[in-house]
Amino acid sequence: KAGVTQTPRYLIKTRGQQVTLSCSPISGHRSVSWYQQTPGQGLQFLFEYFSETQRNKGNFPGRFSGRQFSNSRSEMNVSTLELGDSALYLCASSSPVGGTEAFFGQGTRLTVV
Amino acid sequence: GENVEQHPSTLSVQEGDSAVIKCTYSDSASNYFPWYKQELGKGPQLIIDIRSNVGEKKDQRIAVTLNKTAKHFSLHITETQPEDSAVYFCAASNVDGAAGNKLTFGGGTRVLVKP
């Protein structure tokens, strides 16, 4: 069974630009969560999507948004990038049936210059 | 909201010794406590988890204990090996509430196993 796939693995963007990251969950998983990982703040929850609906949201500004498609694939978008948005963005998928384990992808390393 | 504290931030052990990492949580509604191992350049990997109706769970060299009254849980790694060197994260969640699959993570422990 394939794991969680995130694309791209690395991105370099300029301040003020916007970026879209993609996540394909484990087959059959309908819940996708996004996390930001930085050395200073650690792992922080961004939002969770379940069946194309945002189920929960963390404390991030509105520049951070996401969506989920009918095949459970998810994208997150960051607009008007700031230097502080440089981070590893991680996606996790969970199955609503029989367990709540969250399985992470390898992440997208975003560098804002 | 939930707050998870993790100690120590770094841990150096000799190969073959045991390693213990401790976490405390603040929200008594939390009922699911996973542990993740993250190696350089990779995403966190779930290594063991425990639910609030269980006090201890073991999987080969890894065990987790939970004290609901004190709101703390611990990861124990016995007979450590060099491949156990990584950053370990604890997390807490209320899987029955509106929070869905939101995980609140501790700050991480960098474990170094010296051969």
> Would you say residue A97 has pLDDT above 90?
no
- Measured between CB atoms, does A58 come within 8 Å of chain B? yes
Instruction: Name the percent of chain A lying above pLDDT 90.
Output: 84
Q: Model confidence at B101, in pLDDT bands (50, 70, 90)?
A: confident
Option in A55, A92, A100 nearest B32 (CB): A100
Q: Model confidence at B97, in pLDDT bands (50, 70, 90)?
A: low
3-state class of B46 per DSSP? strand
> Would you say residue A100 has pLDDT above 60?
yes
Q: Which amino acid is at B2?
A: E
User: Regarding predicted confidence, which is higher, A97 or A106?
Assistant: A106
Interface test with B, best of A35, A45, A59 (most B CBs within 10 A): A45
Instruction: Answer for the pair A75, A28: CB distance below 8 angstroms, yes or no.
Output: no
- Measured between CB atoms, does B45 come within 8 Å of chain A? yes
User: Cβ contacts (< 8 Å) between B98 and chain A: which residues?
Assistant: 56
Please state the rounded mean pLDDT for residues B12-34: 96
Nearest Cα residue in chain B from A37: B43
User: Cβ contacts (< 8 Å) between A45 and chain B: which residues?
Assistant: 102-104
Q: Model confidence at B96, in pLDDT bands (50, 70, 90)?
A: confident
The tally of CA atoms less than 13 A away on the side-chain side of residue B82 is: 2
Q: What is the pLDDT of residues A23-73, one digit of tens each?
A: 999 998 989 999 999 998 999 999 999 989 998 899 999 999 999 999 999
What is the C-alpha separation between A50 and A67, in angstroms, rounded? Answer: 10
What is the C-alpha separation between A26 and A93, in angstroms, rounded? Answer: 6
Instruction: Name the percent of chain B lying above pLDDT 90.
Output: 87
Dihedral of alpha carbons B57, B58, B62, B63, sign:
positive
What would the DSSP string read from start to end of B33-44?
EEEEEE-TTS--
Contact B100 A102 (CB under 8 A): no
Instruction: Answer for the pair B46, B113: CB distance below 8 angstroms, yes or no.
Output: no
Q: Which amino acid is at B36?
A: Y
What is the C-alpha separation between B98 and A47, in angstroms, rounded? Answer: 13
What is the C-alpha separation between A65 and A61, in angstroms, rounded? Answer: 9
- Measured between CB atoms, does B33 come within 8 Å of chain A? no
For A6, counting Cβ atoms within 10 Å of its Cβ (0-12 exposed, 13-18 middle, 19+ buried), the class is: buried
> Would you say residue B94 has pLDDT above 70?
yes
Dihedral of alpha carbons B110, A59, A91, B50, sign:
positive
Please state the rounded mean pLDDT for residues B47-66: 94
Q: What is the pLDDT of residues B60-83, one digit of tens each?
A: 999 999 999 999 999 999 999 999
The pLDDT of residue A81: 98
Interface test with B, best of A7, A43, A60, A106 (most B CBs within 10 A): A43
